[in-house]
Amino acid sequence: MAKILIVDDEPRIRELIRENLQYSGYTCEEAGDGSAALSLLTGGGYDLVILDLMMPFMDGMTCLREMRTRRINTPVIILTARGEEYDKLAGLEGGADDYVVKPFMPRELTARIRAVLRRASAEGRARESAVPPADDRQEEIVRCGPLLMNETRFEATADGMPLKLSVKEFRLLLMFASRPGRVFTRGQLLENIWGNSFVDERTVDVHMLRLRKALAGTAAENLIETVRGVGYRCRPLD
């Protein structure tokens, strides 16, 4: 069963989460602030982090940014006492995988944990399957303007320059590049890329922002455009 790190400065909250997760079969460890969490995470071995945003010494957002800077890619669910869009989007843009607003029902948190772990497992399998088999079977290549995408290897280049993309960013770009000119709604992107009802449409916008940052400064920088009120598309090719 998965090993989860609970990071919250309130012992009662940590205890409540730990008891519920242990009842569901998870192994749990605790940290009272972001600095303590980073010390534990450096050693690895965690499958997911539950991270409160409002903490002393080192808050959750600082901890999250430091995790991603150090390339600690453990999935993160953030906890926030405020339901404001800014907190949710800031966390997702900072690298969180999902969020839960306090107060929350333990069953909701458990359901979101299961969903995030499923997605992380699926992405791990996708990375493993990206290595081509020894039988030299034909690779699947998608070309779109300056883009060249190798679906078999999960590799993409823009005019020969390698693009550093996460699995979700690669899949988003592949959807657009495979159908230039077609507009995809946020709902369609959620269904095809995430396939999960717990993720809201704002998550699409956050990942599109990350994708555009990955394309910035390359020949594909302006390839993806927003269609106001509808969604996104790859610019039609001339």
Residue 230: Cβ within 10 Å count:
11
Question: What is the domain-level CATH number for residue 107?
Answer: 3.40.50.2300
Q: Do residues 97 and 159 share a domain?
A: no
Q: Do residues 162 and 116 share a domain?
A: no
Question: What is the domain-level CATH number for residue 183?
Answer: 1.10.10.10
Task: Report the alpha-carbon distance of residue 120 to residue 134 in Å, rounded.
Answer: 26
The predicted-structure confidence for 152-196, as pLDDT tens digits, reads as follows 788 899 999 999 888 788 889 999 999 999 999 988 888 888 775
Count the domains in the chain.
2
Q: What is the pTM of this model?
A: 0.65
Q: Do residues 183 and 111 share a domain?
A: no
Q: Do residues 55 and 123 share a domain?
A: yes
Q: Do residues 114 and 159 share a domain?
A: no
Q: What is residue 157's DSSP assignment?
A: E
Positive or negative torsion for Cα 28, 81, 123, 66: negative
Q: Does 117 reside within a domain?
A: yes
Query: Which of 127, 157, 188 marks a domain boundary?
Result: 127
The pair of three-digit structure tokens given for residue 68, joined into one six-digit string: 């991603």
**Average pLDDT for 202-211:** 84
**Average pLDDT for 7-32:** 94
Residue written as token pair 């992405």:
123
Task: Report the alpha-carbon distance of residue 182 to residue 180 in Å, rounded.
Answer: 6
Which alpha helices (H) appear in the chain, and where do they start and end? 11-23, 34-42, 60-69, 85-93, 106-129, 167-178, 186-189, 202-215
Q: Does 133 reside within a domain?
A: no
| Average confidence score pLDDT of the chain | 85
Domain extent, residue 79, equals 3-127
